[in-house]
Structure 1
Amino acid sequence: MIDRSKRNEAISALEAYLGDEITAFEFDDRIHDIESDDLTVIEVVHALWFHYDDCTDHKMHLSKQEWDYFQRLLLILRSDAELEFSRQSRWSWDHALAWLAALGFGLIAIGLGWGWHLLIWSVPFGIISICISLYRKSREPEPTSFEIACMPFQSVSQIRALRDRVPEFKKRPYRNEIGKRRVRHPAQDSFHWAFCHAYWILLGPAALFFQGFPSQHDDQWNLQMP
């Protein structure tokens, strides 16, 4: 279904963010306050979440590729096209490994009893969890330059066809200063990375438990033209 009012809300928030009228925190609040049964709105909001920082407030910081991607999302929102992901759940040997490791920690906890001493035992299991995550990332196929240039469309001709149906759409030109902005100082990024991984190692057994569930894979965008 097409929910034009909610699409317009998403457009308004996105245009305000691209125009530097609002910062990341307000943008995050506005797009996540949108409640709709329109799958296109849901998928666009989900896609936008990966392109800003919701821990540190900042003005928009996008590469040229990301900027063009946002413009294509705006084109879809302004049209009557409908967008959705096809998703599949997949099992593999690393899921079994994650649950076996989590079970192993559970047996150690039962044998030694619960207490602060288990933090030391959690370290090797946290390292196993990080290794599983790195392995899964290495197995993810990298999109081609053509796919990046068209995403979430399947072809350039499909982009042109939709633009012909939305003649009022005007692509905003990219401003070079947008890509030069800095969200955090590199030292802050390094500290954040170290803190997150230290926390991950200490809570590794819990991470392993959740890593044992089947992975959700986004196979491809499916765009239905009006």
Structure 2
Amino acid sequence: MIDRGARNKVAEVTRHYLTGLATNFEFDDALFSLESHDPVIKAIRDQLWLLYDDLCEHKHEGVWAISVEQHEIVMRIMMFLKTDFEYQWPRVPSWYSASRPFIRLLTLGFGSRMLDRKFAFKDHENVWPFHNPEQLAQAKNNPT
């Protein structure tokens, strides 16, 4: 189910944060106050939450600016939000996303590999949130 309103809102508040029009607190409030049944909204929120410190207020600048790798992912997120593609990745529980680094450390990588296989979240082609390279190419070739 595609929720065009929610997708547009997430794209807008993300752009506002990245351009310095909104603080991380304003960004966080806007992201997490949004209700939607579109599965990509939760998945994207879980990823965007990793871009900022939610304990002290700041803008996206200086030490708080995202890395080149993070910027690439955020640009794919923004492109995906403007498409009408259904989100097709498996649902990864929030507890796993938050605790994966600790699971990896405590189990010397075995536990996270086992759970990664279970949740089948492997993005070898770096296309997430798109499902495959063809969807990404289509979005790049037909921007909205």
Cα distance change, pair 152–40 in 1 and its aligned pair in 2 (3 A) = closer
Cα distance change, pair 86–134 in 1 and its aligned pair in 2 (3 A) = same
* Structure 2 gap segments, 5+ residues each: 94-101, 117-122
1:135 is matched by which residue type in structure 2? L
RMSD after superposition: 2.7
TM-score after normalising by structure 2: 0.71
After superposition, give the CA deviation of every residue in 1:54-110 in whole Å (9 maximum; x if it has no partner): 012222220001011001001111111122542479xxxxxxxxxxxxxxxxxxxxx
Cα distance change, pair 133–162 in 1 and its aligned pair in 2 (3 A) = closer
**Whole-Å separation in 1 of the counterparts to 2:35 and 2:106:** 36
Cα distance change, pair 59–34 in 1 and its aligned pair in 2 (3 A) = same
TM-score after normalising by structure 1: 0.47
Aligned to 2:105: 134
- Higher-strand-fraction structure: 1
Aligned to 2:4: 4
Among 147, 164, 176, which residue is 2:141 paired with?
164
For the Cα contact (< 8 Å) 2:24–2:59, is it kept in 1? yes
Larger Rg: 1
Aligned to 1:215: none
Cα distance change, pair 46–132 in 1 and its aligned pair in 2 (3 A) = closer
Aligned to 2:86: 82
Which structure is richer in relative contact order (CA contacts within 8 A, separation 6 or more)? 1
Cα distance change, pair 56–149 in 1 and its aligned pair in 2 (3 A) = same
Aligned to 2:49: 49
Cα distance change, pair 137–13 in 1 and its aligned pair in 2 (3 A) = farther
Among 72, 75, 83, which residue is 2:76 paired with?
72
* Structure 1 gap segments, 5+ residues each: 90-130, 169-226
* Residue correspondence of structure 1 range 90-169 to structure 2 within 5 A: 134-136=105-107, 138-139=109-110, 140-141=112-113, 147=124, 149-165=126-142, 167-168=143-144
Q: CA deviation at 1:7?
A: 1.1
**Whole-Å separation in 1 of the counterparts to 2:19 and 2:77:** 16
Residue 80 of structure 1: SS of its match in structure 2?
A: coil
After superposition, give the CA deviation of every residue in 1:173-216 in whole Å (9 maximum; x if it has no partner): xxxxxxxxxxxxxxxxxxxxxxxxxxxxxxxxxxxxxxxxxxxx
**Whole-Å separation in 1 of the counterparts to 2:74 and 2:26:** 17
